[in-house]
Chains A and B, each alone.
Chain A
Amino acid sequence: MYYLKLILRNAMRHKLRTGLTVLGIVVAILAFGLLRTVVDAWYHGSDAASKTRLITRNSISLVFSMPLTYSSKIRQMEGVKAVSHANWFGGVYVTEKNFFPQFAVQASTYFDLYPEYLVPPGQMRDFQRDRKGALVGRKLVDAYGFKVGDQVSLRGTIFPGTWEFVVRGIYDGTEKNTDTAQFFFHWDYLNETMKRTAPRRANSVGVYVISLASADRAAEVAATVDHEFRNSLAETLTETEQAFQLGFVSMTEAIVVAIKIVSFLVIFIIMAVMANTMAMTVRERMAEYATLKALGFGPGHLTLLIFGESLAIAAFGSALGIALTFPVADKFGKAMGTLFPVFYVNSETLIMQMCAGLIVGAVAALLPCVRAANMRIVDGLRSVG
């Protein structure tokens, strides 16, 4: 108790210096948390991926499609529980700035494969019945104010023309990291329109989604699928949903790496600032530490006082920084709109923030502790006035 009192009073001796150091730590820990959350948001697709789902695409590129006939062949393979398919639509809602993913999906099967999308049964029924019906995620509702019954027009880019939809349902996510910034509509609607306007593009599928009987069989089923369509006009590449999502992340890997580096750089900078603060503090108090040593206090006691003070300042700043991360991340996520469909501070980030704070406090105290512990008493006492 006595030592704790001494540590806290020492920490508050130079209020301005301590205040500015704490402010620096708050900003650094906040920035670190925010940047880590951005990185997490980048990876959310792979994190949220199911282990029992495989994605099959054209082996050349996602740009190329596959025949619809693959569906029945895949369904008959051992280890496959269900199959559905989808196409990336890539339409524009009002202006290019309003970006959100749109998928034409096989309405009768797709949502059985994605139990994490929660749709009220009545709305799902209405969606299934209406060829022009659409299901929108909660985040799109929040961003664009969509309501059930609204007419929505999308300007096609991959599939030219103006496409009219009626919002028939709104889905929520069962998990915090479920993407609710997507727009789903009937693949049949897309296909029928293609049959009329561009017959050569009809009956083409962007990706097959395969539900597995067991996650253990993922590699085996993927190999079987790709083997089946080898030497065909559209050879396939089948991978786990997580690998498929990571493929997208790898396209922007350099940005993610840069963000990660900056996040650690911020911590390194505040570590240097904090180390300077502690070095100044200990240098000013050499006479006091020398007095303590003269009275019989050993290097362990001095280490306790210096480490304690450094950790107390770092812990206080970190706690404030962590507390502020939540409201700031919330505002940041909202400001980013649908760019980051999932944006929240996860527990791993909190642990990393806490560890960063403790490491900053410990490292900053290291050299001053060594210096105070090795100081000769007579030299320390001489530094009095």
Chain B
Amino acid sequence: MSQIAQPVVEIRNLAKSYRRGDQVVSVLTNITFDIAAGDYVALMGPSGSGKSTLLNLIAGIDKPDSGVLRVGGIDITSLGEAELANWRSRNVGFIFQFYNLMPVLTAFENVELPLLLTDLPSRERADHVNAALSMVGLADRMEHFPSELSGGQQQRVAIARAIITDPTILVADEPTGDLDRVSAEDVLNMLGQLNRELGKTIIMVTHDPHSAANAHTVQHLDKGELRIEN
């Protein structure tokens, strides 16, 4: 475990199991590590190693059985459903493998979605969305629906949606898993740029060693346990 001066994510003895029929299957066991503010962490491991489960716990969309999980100094395991939803809307930016854009909304409207949970007036929301879409190079595709965009472009819209609320952490679950090589490279460059230039803390689950090579830290999970490599 590496010693970090200012951790934005603190994980102590985290455990998670699922019930499958009568059996209890342990997915994560005694996970302990920190993620520094501005770090770029890749979570790697074989299928079923628990990396996506760990990412879900950090993102506050699943709850651990035991252990401590603090993000930005807040123990998110103690938050109720409504508080947790509110916390996610302010602190977590999501990037999914299959983009998870709303098919009936344009690129602009998809990016605007998280801002509906803020008090920003429509005019200011539009300014933020324009800036975010320009940042990912899609200023000319604002009125396009997801079905009118390529996979890479859709993932860029998803990245714009993830950063629109200026969250504490960005979580990405196999962000290049559904993309061709060129688009994948494009997305990885963009994540790197967000980390370097905007200081965004990124936690990314990936199978791909090439994608993981972009990260500062790689955490290996195997059978629910952590193995650390730098």
Chain A nearest CB, measured from B110 CB (Å): 10
Does A296 contact B100, Cβ atoms closer than 8 Å? no
Chain B nearest CB, measured from A301 CB (Å): 9
Chain A nearest CB, measured from B167 CB (Å): 10
List A contacts of B105 (CB < 8 A): 6, 9
List B contacts of A292 (CB < 8 A): 113
Between A and B, how many residue pairs show CB distances below 8 Å?
63
**CA A378 to CA B86, docked complex, whole Å:** 17
Of the candidates B61, B86, B90, B117, the one whose C-beta lies within 8 Å of that of A294 is B61
Instruction: Give residues 16-50 of B contacting A (CB, 8 Å).
Output: none
Chain B facing A: main interface SS: helix
Of the candidates A5, A293, A376, A381, the one whose C-beta lies within 8 Å of that of B85 is A293
Of the candidates A9, A294, A296, A385, the one whose C-beta lies within 8 Å of that of B104 is A9
**CA A377 to CA B57, docked complex, whole Å:** 11
Q: Residues 79-118 of chain B: 1 if any A CB is under 8 Å from the residue's CB, otherwise 0? A: 0011001101110101011101011110001001110110
B59 adjacent to chain A (CB < 8 Å)? yes
B143 adjacent to chain A (CB < 8 Å)? no
Between A and B, 15 residue pairs with Cβ closer than 8 Å are A2-B109, A13-B103, A287-B100, A294-B59, A294-B94, A296-B86, A296-B89, A297-B85, A297-B117, A298-B81, A378-B56, A381-B61, A381-B100, A384-B96, A384-B100
Does A298 contact B62, Cβ atoms closer than 8 Å? no
Chain B nearest CB, measured from A382 CB (Å): 10
Does B114 contact A295, Cβ atoms closer than 8 Å? yes
List B contacts of A9 (CB < 8 A): 104-105
Does A6 contact B98, Cβ atoms closer than 8 Å? no
- Closest A residue by C-beta to B57: A378
A10 adjacent to chain B (CB < 8 Å)? yes
7 closest residue pairs by CB, A with B: A296-B89, A9-B104, A377-B61, A291-B100, A296-B88, A384-B98, A296-B85
Does B109 contact A378, Cβ atoms closer than 8 Å? no
Chain A nearest CB, measured from B21 CB (Å): 16
Of the candidates B61, B102, B161, the one whose C-beta lies within 8 Å of that of A6 is B102
**CA A381 to CA B117, docked complex, whole Å:** 21
Does B113 contact A295, Cβ atoms closer than 8 Å? yes
Does A377 contact B86, Cβ atoms closer than 8 Å? no
Of the candidates B81, B82, B94, the one whose C-beta lies within 8 Å of that of A295 is B94
Known: A293-B85, A298-B82, A298-B85. Contact between A381 and B102, CB under 8 A?
Answer: no
**CA A293 to CA B92, docked complex, whole Å:** 12
Show the binding face of A for B, using Cβ within 8 Å.
2, 5-6, 9-10, 13, 287-288, 291-298, 376-378, 381, 384-385
Of the candidates B85, B90, B104, B114, the one whose C-beta lies within 8 Å of that of A13 is B104
**CA A295 to CA B109, docked complex, whole Å:** 14
List A contacts of B92 (CB < 8 A): 294
Chain A nearest CB, measured from B136 CB (Å): 17
- Closest B residue by C-beta to A288: B102
Does B61 contact A378, Cβ atoms closer than 8 Å? yes
List B contacts of A297 (CB < 8 A): 85, 89, 117
- Closest A residue by C-beta to B105: A6
List B contacts of A295 (CB < 8 A): 88-89, 94, 113-114, 117, 161
**CA A71 to CA B109, docked complex, whole Å:** 82
- Closest A residue by C-beta to B125: A2
Of the candidates B81, B96, B109, the one whose C-beta lies within 8 Å of that of A291 is B96
Does B61 contact A296, Cβ atoms closer than 8 Å? no
Instruction: Give residues 49-92 of B contacting A (CB, 8 Å).
Output: 56, 59, 61-62, 81-82, 85-86, 88-90, 92
Known: A294-B94, A295-B94, A296-B117. Contact between A6 and B88, CB under 8 A?
Answer: no
List A contacts of B109 (CB < 8 A): 2, 5
**CA A295 to CA B98, docked complex, whole Å:** 15
- Closest B residue by C-beta to A377: B61
**CA A152 to CA B89, docked complex, whole Å:** 84
List B contacts of A13 (CB < 8 A): 103-104
- Closest B residue by C-beta to A5: B109
List B contacts of A384 (CB < 8 A): 96-98, 100
Does A296 contact B96, Cβ atoms closer than 8 Å? no
List B contacts of A10 (CB < 8 A): 104
**CA A378 to CA B171, docked complex, whole Å:** 14
Additional A-B contacts beyond A13-B103, A294-B92, A384-B100 (16; CB < 8 A): A6-B102, A9-B104, A288-B103, A293-B61, A293-B85, A295-B94, A295-B113, A296-B86, A296-B114, A298-B81, A298-B85, A377-B61, A378-B56, A378-B62, A384-B96, A385-B98
**CA A13 to CA B61, docked complex, whole Å:** 28
List B contacts of A293 (CB < 8 A): 61, 85
Chain A nearest CB, measured from B27 CB (Å): 11
- Closest B residue by C-beta to A11: B104
Chain A nearest CB, measured from B78 CB (Å): 18
List A contacts of B61 (CB < 8 A): 293-294, 377-378, 381
Does B104 contact A381, Cβ atoms closer than 8 Å? no
- Closest A residue by C-beta to B56: A378
Does A2 contact B56, Cβ atoms closer than 8 Å? no
List B contacts of A287 (CB < 8 A): 100
**CA A298 to CA B86, docked complex, whole Å:** 8
Does A6 contact B89, Cβ atoms closer than 8 Å? no
List B contacts of A376 (CB < 8 A): 62
List A contacts of B103 (CB < 8 A): 13, 288
List A contacts of B89 (CB < 8 A): 295-297
Chain B nearest CB, measured from A13 CB (Å): 6
